[in-house]
Amino acid sequence: MSLIEAAAKTRENAHAPYSNFKVGAAVRTVDGTVYTGCNVENVAYPEGTCAEAGAIAAMCAAGEYQIAEVAVIADSPDPVPPCGGCRQKLAEFAAGDVTVTMATTDGKTKTVTVADLLPGAFDAGHMDRT
């Protein structure tokens, strides 16, 4: 199963009763394991969870911390990029020049890197005070 297919399958489990905008995400780690996530809305909108954050949480829960590849899929006219917060989360775990493939349910895709999505990302080096 491709990374987009894994994201699409998980997208079907999204809890999006308010926006009806289901999103699925999948991350492949450097060892090849795939973790998936879907958006989970809450009636108090800010309390929802993005699909990318869910996939990253599943990866961390399994004890892995390095992403090699990302896929995101939604039913939209054009491929949907991760939100700003998820871009930062992806940058935190990106192992090198990680590609992000964004797809629509009707087959359009766009591939960029995490660095393309978040140039000048805040990282641990910014906290070095020595």
pLDDT tens for 23-61 read 999 999 999 999 999 999 999 988 999 999 999 999 999
Q: Annotated catalytic, 52?
A: yes
Q: Which CA distances in Å does 54 have to 23, 77, 125, 127, 129?
A: 11, 24, 26, 26, 32
How many helices (H) and strands (E) would you count in the chain?
4, 5
Whether residue 80 is annotated as binding a ligand: the answer is no
Check if the beta carbon of residue 103 is closer than 8 Å to that of residue 24: no
Mean pLDDT, to the nearest integer, of 108-122? 95
Whether residue 60 is annotated as binding a ligand: the answer is no
Residue 129: HSE in the Cβ half-sphere, 13 Å Cα cutoff: 0
Q: What are phi and psi of 21, to 5 degrees?
A: -115, 95
Using 50, 70 and 90 to split pLDDT, how confident is the model at 104? Answer: very high
pLDDT at 82: 98
Whether residue 98 is annotated as binding a ligand: the answer is no
Mean pLDDT value across the chain: 96
Whether residue 20 is annotated as binding a ligand: the answer is no
Query: Measured between alpha carbons, how far is 15 from 6 in angstroms, rounded to an integer?
Result: 17
Whether residue 43 is annotated as binding a ligand: the answer is yes
Looking at residue 91, the DSSP 8-state letter turns out to be H
Check if the beta carbon of residue 68 is closer than 8 Å to that of residue 29: yes
Mean pLDDT, to the nearest integer, of 95-112? 97
Using 50, 70 and 90 to split pLDDT, how confident is the model at 68? Answer: very high
- The residues with which 58 forms a beta bridge, in sequence order, are none
Domain coverage including residue 29: 3-127
Dihedral sign for Cα atoms in the order 32, 4, 14, 91: positive
The residue annotated as part of the active site, out of 5, 12, 47, 52, is 52
Asked if the model's pLDDT at residue 130 lies above 90, the reply is no
Asked if the model's pLDDT at residue 123 lies above 90, the reply is no
Whole-model pTM?
Answer: 0.94
Asked if the model's pLDDT at residue 122 lies above 90, the reply is no
CATH number at residue 100: 3.40.140.10
Tell me how many domains the chain contains: 1
pLDDT at 10: 98
pLDDT at 28: 98
